[in-house]
Structure 1
Amino acid sequence: MTGPAWTLSSEKRALDLLIATALSPVYVPTAAVGASLMFLADGRAPVFRQWRIGRDGVPFRLLHVRTMRDGRGMDASRGSDDPRATRPGKVLRKGTFDQFLEVYHVLRGHMAMANPRPLLQFDRRLMREVLPSSVYREWDWASTIGRPGMYSTFGNESIGLEPQSEAFLLRRSECDIEDAHCACLERDLRILGDTAKIGWSFVSRAS
């Protein structure tokens, strides 16, 4: 089973539930620690909800640990070194710990473990401005055909790219389209495995 058939299958949903349930005892306490560090850093609410584009283009409110000084960051992200991020926020972003609360959305059925990421409307406008119309239409389909993912191929590959540059946006379209057409069990497991390696590498360097 590959492509949209896998993306929309009950088997993928069952796998997502299994993995999310197994990770919750680690992810939720880690997110709580991160939120506590943010609160200690500036005394402001450390968790917020933010509208993202979900399955079939339907918006949903994403639960997120705050990493920036200026609140919710409604414009496009500038990556883990975003100058708007607080000191603990930069650590959370580099290790993707700010995303750990998203496991809640996997359990609720808003998200998947591996699929193209849910974007802000602002991000989607940038994609429309940069991509040729035919490519944008295919990317728009690819990025909304299924539940958006906690992790994605592009999320793992984008680390070395200049955030929101043309190369960054073009590579996002390529990865998301490939993820949609080539979706399968093996690809999901590879994305999750690559994400775990990146996270472990960050923790090892920081320790």
Structure 2
Amino acid sequence: MIRIFDIVFSFAVLLLVSPLMIIAAILVRTRLGSPIIFKQDRAGLNGDVFQIYKFRSMSDARDAHGNLLPDDQRLTTFGRILRATSVDELPGFLNVLKGEMSVVGPRPQHAGFLKHYSKRQMMRHFVKPGITGWAQVNGRNSIDWDSRFELDVWYVENKSFWLDMKIIFMTMVIVLKREGISAAGHATMPEFRGSQLSVQQKD
């Protein structure tokens, strides 16, 4: 039932917002150049790695040595608008149609994070990752990693169709309010390198 819902919902969203996605793609190409779609290895169900699709929101600006500048220097005003409106996430519905993601579930994180998770935090991979999730409607990027992963695990332990419907509704409200877009003092979420909690639970 969940898979059928994912397919129908994602197809409907892509059909509805296709004009917006075309405009976004043109603007990304004009303002940020190629590639239009940002791809990155993320950890999905059971920790299996897949490539997530998002509209590119950062430039390729580099320093004198050819190294990429920090995120806050590469995230342009246009890129901030894409993120604030969550338009950058729309290509992710293609991942849902491919079966790599679900509409609702823990947000997929960088594959490199896997080695830092505690056993409890790894439970977030017992279900498919989602476009939105319980952590996204309870603070999004404004909460720390430990709190975020605990919310993800709570979702796994309490997953139901009606909880998913509640999360989808709450997501629409939060997107309209543009809440929790960035972590305090950061353009994006800082990299997760483990925590004292995860270290203790690995022992």
Q: Report the TM-score range of the alignment, normalised by the length of the smaller protein.
A: 0.7 to 0.9
- Taking the aligned partners of 1:46 and 1:62, their CA distance within structure 2 comes to 13
* Other-structure match for 1:59: 49
Change (3 A) 1:108 1:159: closer
Given the alignment, which residue of 139, 144, 147 partners 2:121?
139
Change (3 A) 1:152 1:23: same
Structure 1: give runs of 5+ residues left out of the alignment. 1-10, 72-76, 129-135, 162-166, 203-207
Change (3 A) 1:18 1:42: closer
Change (3 A) 1:68 1:185: same
Deviation for aligned residue 1:45: 2.1
- Taking the aligned partners of 2:96 and 2:25, their CA distance within structure 1 comes to 20
Structure 1 residue runs of 4 or more that deviate by more than 6 Å after TM superposition: none
Deviation for aligned residue 1:188: 0.3
Deviation for aligned residue 1:34: 1.9
Moved more, 176-185 or 32-41: 32-41
- Taking the aligned partners of 1:40 and 1:172, their CA distance within structure 2 comes to 35
Given the alignment, which residue of 105, 123, 127 partners 1:115?
105
Q: What TM-score do the two structures reach when normalised by structure 2?
A: 0.75
- Taking the aligned partners of 1:94 and 1:151, their CA distance within structure 2 comes to 14
Structure with higher helix content:
1
* Other-structure match for 1:175: 151
Deviation for aligned residue 1:13: 1.2
Q: For residues 177-196 of structure 1, what are the structure 2 equivalents within 5 Å?
A: 177-196=153-172
Change (3 A) 1:87 1:109: same
* Other-structure match for 1:14: 4
Deviation for aligned residue 1:123: 4.0
* Superposition RMSD in Å: 2.3
Residues 30 and 100, structure 1, Cα contact 8 Å, conserved in 2: no
Q: Paired residues, what number?
A: 171
Structure 2: give runs of 5+ residues left out of the alignment. 62-69, 179-203
Residues 10 and 96, structure 2, Cα contact 8 Å, conserved in 1: yes
Deviation for aligned residue 1:159: 4.2
Residues 103 and 132, structure 2, Cα contact 8 Å, conserved in 1: yes
- Taking the aligned partners of 1:156 and 1:70, their CA distance within structure 2 comes to 31
SS in 2 for 1:113: strand
Deviations 1:120-152 (A, max 9, x none): 024445x54xxxxxxx211212x2112110101
- Taking the aligned partners of 1:103 and 1:92, their CA distance within structure 2 comes to 16
Deviation for aligned residue 1:83: 4.1
Deviation for aligned residue 1:31: 2.8
Change (3 A) 1:104 1:174: same
Change (3 A) 1:70 1:110: same
Residues 52 and 119, structure 1, Cα contact 8 Å, conserved in 2: yes
Change (3 A) 1:160 1:63: closer
Residues 32 and 58, structure 2, Cα contact 8 Å, conserved in 1: no
- Taking the aligned partners of 1:182 and 1:171, their CA distance within structure 2 comes to 16
Deviation for aligned residue 1:160: 6.6
Q: What TM-score do the two structures reach when normalised by structure 1?
A: 0.74
Residues 106 and 130, structure 2, Cα contact 8 Å, conserved in 1: yes
Residues 54 and 92, structure 2, Cα contact 8 Å, conserved in 1: yes
